[in-house]
Chains A and B, each alone.
Chain A
Amino acid sequence: MGLTGLAIFKLLPKTNCKECGVPTCMAFAMALASGKATLDQCPYVSDEAKEALDSATAPPIKLVKAGAGDNVLEMGDEQVMFRHDKTFYHPTGIFIEVADNADVAAKVDEINGLAFERVGQKYVVDGVAVVNASGNADTFKDAVAAAAGKTDKVLLLVSEDAAAMEAAAAGVADRKPILYAANADNYEKMVEVAKKIGAPLVVKGKNLDDVADLAGKVGYKELILDSGERETSKVIADLTQIRRQAIKKRFRPFGYPTIAFTTEEDPYLEAMQAQAYVAKYASIVVMKTTELASLLTLFSWRSNLFTDPQKPIAVEPGIYAIGDVTPDSPVYITTNFSLTFYTVQTEVESTRLPSYLIAFETEGLSVLTAWAGGKFIGEEIGPWLKDADINEKVSHKQLIIPGGVAAIKGKIEELSGWEVIVGPREANGISSFAKLKLGA
């Protein structure tokens, strides 16, 4: 909440009319400040006061949405500078460029085909940026239409020619495309185009002063900011300033999502540049490369950064078959913390010995933490194991447990009737364990 009770009071009629249901304007102001009342309870507040108050009670960074159907990208609405202070909410949108004078259909096909899977997650490119490289309005319009016809992803229309933008955007209005960009020279026309179709609009400044000025005067709120910088260290500085001022100073002109563009020509350096922008507050990064190693790593990083520190990622508890299992297959058990599970799964896979891996419900805690917390102990595992489906799947009753919790062996045996084999302490010991003890 930006304004104090006293500051709010100064904006109220100060008549103590009681029509809001509160005895005095001062009391109402205090209620507003603590979020216990809403401004619409006062029938006499002026328009100016309304604006000032909306501004103060609004989130520090506006939530802006683009795209339609199953492909809506949410940007902004962030609250902290460091993920450990709460979390980062809206993963950076990754867009790939296509020039309007290139083979648009082929390029969009290529972008559509970029799909990655790892550790139970799927990554795809969020959007296609069609660039008016030709400088020709018709070419641009046709390219945008072609791209729109070939993909459902979010569209970013890149042209600073307002007339060309108007023509191109009209055809894809229902897709809620992002319009790039309004600048000091074209903003009146660009804003008109954006307002007409309700599309998010990027305001591009020559520097921070310029972008703050523009954001303040365009008279439109579905904005995304481009500070105009393209040098890596300067982009990071600008993105940091915009986020910091929005959050710490409630500086309204900076209270919007941001967009950054990569400039590196080498595809691997480009991914590293993009990664820095993802880490440092960009809401969208526009790139050129379609190199697999570049994108796989970038998406993985984004996924890691935007994980809520307070909610460990967990897999569905259960019995997982790895390879072509038989009733003789070994049975391993670990926790359902994603990192643990996938690390162990990878190791078991590499033994090339088909096995079962039980992901035991520990609410996403790792082995040692879950053991310490009383979730990965004999008293829990034993009774569960006694009645579990695994009894029907294998002809033996041998369970391999992580070496770090060897202490739970006795209790599991006692309560389940199974024999417990103490496995290696670390997942990377599974390979040699399987060779030595399981004949892998």
Chain B
Amino acid sequence: MPVEILKEKFTGTVQEVVLGATKEEGGTRAKTVKLGGSSTLPFLQYEGDIPNRPAIAFEIWDIEPDWNEAFNESYGDVWKDPVAWAKKVEELGADIIYLKLKGADPELDNPKSPDDCAKIVKAVLENTGAPLMVEGPGHPEADNDVLQAVGEAAAGENIALGLAEKDNYRSIAAAAMMGKHCVIGRSPVDINILKQLNIMITEMGIAPNKIINDPMSSGLGYGIEYSYSIMERARWGALIGDKMMAFPVICVAGAEAWRAKEANAPLEDAGPGWGEQKPRGIMWEAMTAAALIQAGGDLILMRHPEAVKLLNKHIDDLMKPNLY
């Protein structure tokens, strides 16, 4: 007797968001990337449409980062210059470039001005073809000024501006609206705030296909399951028709994974059974990412090129059709 396949009957879909704009679309990107769009749970092709695979963005900074030595090999020769770094990650296969303007942090001795930031973003855009996402330094006032300038400088390119949060979203959302960019709304591992922020951003007039959600990821071993469950709940909500939970999700796997002692500790300082730092760090990031895509991550923000390679191959396998 054949088994009757039991399919969930979903009425909602995850919003599809396009990042980047080609010449025809008013920008200068070589290609655009589509995020989201699923009408079912992660990787269950047999029960719905999964038009876009999880995309991978490479994280770069506008100043030299304080990352583990493990990164010297890949980026040591470029990370003093964001344009060189951006070109490098594009060579390494970045679908999307995610630029963190850490240099504009007002607590630094000589923080970059909004104008400086605008120039950097322009230069990155001029020298790369991938869609771009830009995150401010993480201080509300600086974020607002910087992202406004960046939004203007990148007009037409359909970049993403982040991070809009519950207590500081208006300026950033306005900058996105003016430049016709996307906005990344971040909520602190809280599904109610996730929804509330989406409502507030939408009420400002941002179109649904311009919103990306960062529910705040935690790394493997340090709270990942909190993010995982928020994401699963939001995805379920999206699929049963709640439009305010239905935006593509970005998971900050790289930065979060590399906070862990397990990713960084050299063998001498490592715990029992940990082994060499190099594969351990790469895997800490790759496995953080792999777990989060099972919960519906649409865009994963990564650091290490080796972790990206592993993740890409894994996604290839997950995206193979499994129709009954």
Contact = CB atoms under 8 A, between A and B. Distances in A.
Interface of A: 82-84, 114-119, 123, 208-209, 212-213, 231-234, 236-237, 240-241, 244-245, 248-249, 251, 253, 268-269, 271-273, 275-276, 279-280, 291-298, 300-301, 303-305, 307, 309, 339, 342-343, 346, 428
Given A241-B5, A271-B287, A298-B287, A293 B319 contact: no
Contacts of A249: 6
Task: Point out which of A233, A240, A269 has the most chain B C-beta atoms below 10 A from its C-beta.
Answer: A233
Contact of B222 (A83, A294, A343): A343
A272 B6 contact: no
Nearest to A343: B222
B93 interface: no
B10 to A, nearest CB: 14
B153 interface: no
29 contacts: A82-B229, A83-B229, A84-B229, A116-B272, A119-B221, A212-B1, A231-B317, A233-B321, A234-B320, A236-B44, A237-B44, A240-B41, A245-B6, A248-B6, A268-B283, A272-B311, A275-B291, A276-B290, A279-B294, A292-B273, A292-B274, A292-B280, A293-B275, A293-B282, A293-B284, A297-B283, A304-B228, A307-B225, A343-B222
Given A297-B284, A346-B261, A233 B272 contact: no
B173 to A, nearest CB: 26
A296 B45 contact: no
Interface of B: 1-3, 5-6, 41, 43-46, 220-225, 228-229, 232-233, 236, 259, 261-262, 271-276, 279-280, 282-284, 286-287, 290-291, 294, 310-311, 313-314, 317-322, 324
Given A232-B320, A237-B324, A296-B262, A275 B287 contact: yes
Contacts of B275: 291-293, 296
Given A268-B310, A343-B222, A118 B43 contact: no
A428 B259 contact: yes
Given A84-B229, A272-B314, A305-B228, A293 B273 contact: no
A254 to B, nearest CB: 8
A416 B13 CA distance: 56
B318 A232 contact: yes
Contacts of B310: 268-269, 272
Contacts of B274: 116, 118, 292, 296
B319 A300 contact: no
A339 B220 contact: no
Contacts, number: 159
B271 A237 contact: no
Contacts of A82: 229, 232-233, 236
A293 B271 CA distance: 12
Contacts of B319: 233
Contacts of B232: 82-84
A293 B45 CA distance: 31
B1 A213 contact: yes
Given A116-B271, A118-B221, A304-B225, 10 more contacts: A209-B2, A236-B322, A269-B313, A276-B290, A292-B280, A293-B275, A293-B282, A297-B280, A309-B225, A428-B259
B221 A304 contact: yes
Nearest to A117: B272
A117 B233 contact: no
Which among A114, A119, A208, A301 has the highest number of chain B CB atoms within 10 Å? A301
Nearest to A216: B1
Contacts of B287: 271-272, 275, 297-298, 300-301
Contacts of A244: 6
B224 A237 contact: no
Given A271-B287, A291-B279, A343-B222, A276 B272 contact: no
A426 B289 CA distance: 23
B272 A293 contact: no
B224 A304 contact: yes
Nearest to A113: B273
B271 A117 contact: yes
Given A269-B310, A291-B279, A293-B280, A241 B290 contact: no
Nearest to A234: B322
Contacts of B311: 272
A227 to B, nearest CB: 10
Contacts of A269: 310, 313-314
A425 B318 CA distance: 40
Contacts of B46: 237
A343 B287 CA distance: 19
Given A83-B225, A305-B225, A339-B223, A114 B273 contact: yes
A197 to B, nearest CB: 30
B3 A209 contact: yes
Nearest to A297: B287
A164 B291 CA distance: 39
Contacts of A280: 294
Contacts of A123: 273
Nearest to A428: B259
B228, B271, B310, B313, most chain A CB atoms within 10 A: B228
Contacts of A117: 271-273
Contacts of B236: 82
Given A209-B2, A293-B282, A301-B291, A236 B223 contact: no
A234 B225 CA distance: 24
Contacts of A304: 220-221, 224-225, 228, 291
A115 B314 CA distance: 26
B222 to A, nearest CB: 6
A271 B283 contact: yes
Contact of B286 (A118, A272, A343): A272
In this complex, which of A213, A268, A271 has the most chain B Cβ atoms within 10 angstroms of its Cβ? A268
Contacts of A346: 261
B318 A118 contact: no
Q: Which interface residue of A237, A273, A298 has the most chain B CB atoms within 10 A?
A: A237
A354 to B, nearest CB: 15
Contacts of B276: 292-293
A428 B259 CA distance: 9
A233 B322 contact: yes
A129 B221 CA distance: 27
Contacts of A342: 222
Contacts of B259: 428
Nearest to B323: A237
A273 B317 contact: yes
B273 A301 contact: no
B29 to A, nearest CB: 30
